[in-house]
Amino acid sequence: MRIRCLSVSCAVLALAALTAHAAERVTLRNGYDLVCDHRAADGNKVRLFLDSGDANFIEVDPSDIASTQAFQPPAPQTPLQSPTQTPTQTPIQTKTATLRQQDLRQLLARAGSEHDLDVDLLASVVRAESGGNPHAVSRTGARGLMQLMPGTAARLGVRDSFAADQNIGGGAAYLDAMLKRYHDNLALALAAYNAGPAAVDRWHGVPPYRETRTYVARVIHEFNKRYAARQRAGTAATQIASTR
């Protein structure tokens, strides 16, 4: 799978030298890069903050940072607010979900295999979009597990957004397209999934919309957590097998 965890190793470095308070473009050793407003040391980790506040951040190991460069974001020309149409909003309609976790996992694995996406990345998007409810509907009309707008669903060939297999297939295809568009930059692809590629292109990075920046941080944090748990489980299984 081409999408890997943003935090992949642990090293003890002089963290004081890694603390900064200016916007910069950070390139990670796994190939991803993102723009952060500021960063700060937290124990043996570094937090990369996506805005001027302290709530939205991505936590990485110091050794994961390959390079940094100063970044001057474009001056805003309009009030900083969410776009009028976004693919995702907090779902407000919550009919009883009937999809079992095991079935959901199988659908995510199938879509991940088809589009070469990590199943835990897709699971993280589903959690952020709908909380796993296949009948979720947002205030703007986005539907299903991966919150597809009707127009987007139609372009993706999704006939029934409440059919879990179709919705996940369409959402995975759209996320795949955004990753290709932004050369596997996960933060930009997620921002485009949430706010649309036009907003990402306009701002030359993650748009300064609170909802979008919160969304990107939430998905990446969830993905890191799931990936780390999977790695620990794999290590434990290997250790058990070696003792037999």
pLDDT digits (tens, 9 = 90+) for 4-56: 434 333 222 222 233 344 678 787 776 556 677 788 888 888 888 766 767 66
Contact indicator for 210, 52 with CB cutoff of 8 Å = no
Contact indicator for 105, 123 with CB cutoff of 8 Å = yes
Across residues 107-120, what is the average pLDDT?
Answer: 96
Across residues 56-70, what is the average pLDDT?
Answer: 81
The predicted pLDDT at position 14 comes to 26
Query: Residue 89: pLDDT above 70?
Result: no
Selection from 173, 212, 181 nearest residue 83 by Cα: 212
Q: Could you tell me what percent of the chain has a pLDDT over 70?
A: 74
In which band, very low, low, confident or very high, does the pLDDT at 71 lie, cut at 50, 70 and 90?
Answer: low
Tell me if residue 214 falls in helix, strand or coil. helix
Identify which has the larger pLDDT, 83 or 187: 187
Alpha-carbon distances of 238 from 4, 118, 224, 234, 235, rounded to whole Å: 21, 21, 21, 6, 5
The predicted pLDDT at position 142 comes to 93
The predicted pLDDT at position 7 comes to 39
Mean pLDDT of all residues in the chain? 79
Alpha-carbon distances of 187 from 96, 209, 237, rounded to whole Å: 32, 14, 32
Q: CA-CA distance, 46 to 49, in Å (whole number)? A: 10
Nearest 10 degrees: Cα torsion 123, 223, 142, 92: 90
SS3 content of the chain, % helix, strand, coil (to 5): 45, 15, 40
Residues 170-222 have pLDDT tens digits of: 999 999 999 999 999 999 999 999 999 999 999 988 888 888 989 998 999 89
The predicted pLDDT at position 81 comes to 38
Count, residues in the chain: 244
Number of H helices, E strands in the chain: 7, 8
Across residues 118-146, what is the average pLDDT?
Answer: 93
Supply the pTM of this predicted model: 0.66
Catalytic amino acids? 129
Nearest 10 degrees: Cα torsion 56, 58, 59, 61: -150
In the numeric block, which tokens belong to residue 12?
A: 């003890």
Q: CA-CA distance, 206 to 189, in Å (whole number)? A: 9
Identify which has the larger pLDDT, 230 or 171: 171
In which band, very low, low, confident or very high, does the pLDDT at 92 lie, cut at 50, 70 and 90?
Answer: very low
Count CB atoms within 10 A of the CB of residue 39.
22
Give me the domains of the chain, ranges plus CATH numbers.
7-71 (2.30.30.100), 91-201 (1.10.530.10)
Selection from 165, 169, 135 nearest residue 152 by Cα: 169
Query: Residue 82: pLDDT above 50?
Result: no
